[in-house]
Every structure is written in structure tokens, then in C-alpha cells.
Amino acid sequence: MGKVMTVMKVYPEEGADMQKLLDDVYAVKGCNSAKIEEFVFGAKIIKASFVCDDKEGVDFEEKVKVLKGVSEVQVDEVGLIS
């Protein structure tokens, strides 16, 4: 059984508390890493990665989209890591 990693950018709603949003993203089961990064024109986003077994088929995009303070989620890559 292999592992699948999903890497995504999480765009916050205007005025969202970035630290609280970062904590909420970390709380999603399967979160491997998450950090706040500079984006454009001083805006910040959260770059996060998630890992699950390939047979699980977890949709991390849907799990993150429903968090309070999330405006949009963009999946950058999905791939087999082991």
C-alpha cells in the first residue's frame, strides 16, 4: 500500500485570522505540514500538504474548503510518495 501526498494553497477570506486558519488547517486529519507564505501585493496564503494511504482516497480539498475563513483552495499537486 502506498501513500499519496496532496499539496495545496489555501486562500483566506478578507480579514480572516491567519493564525487561527493555520491552526484549523493543521487540525484536518492527514495534515503533514502547513505554513503561512507571502503571496502577491502583501497578501498571505497557507501552503499545506496532506498524506493518506492510496486506498483511502481522501478528498482534502473538500475538507479544507469548509473551514471558516477559507475563500478558495487550489490543489497544486497530487502524487504517490511511497
Q: For residue range 53-68, what is the model confidence (pLDDT) as tens digits?
A: 988 888 999 999 999 9
CATH: 3.40.50.720, 3.30.70.60, 2.60.120.10, 1.20.1560.10. Which one for 3-80? 3.30.70.60
At residue 1, does pLDDT exceed 80?
Answer: no
Give percent of the chain above pLDDT 70. Answer: 100
Q: For residue range 2-41, what is the model confidence (pLDDT) as tens digits?
A: 899 999 999 999 999 999 999 999 999 999 999 999 999 8
Pairing of the two strands 3-12 and 70-80: antiparallel
Indicate the domain borders of the chain.
3-80
Q: How many CA atoms lie within 13 A of 32 on its CB side?
A: 15
**Verdict on whether the full-model pTM lies above 0.75:** yes
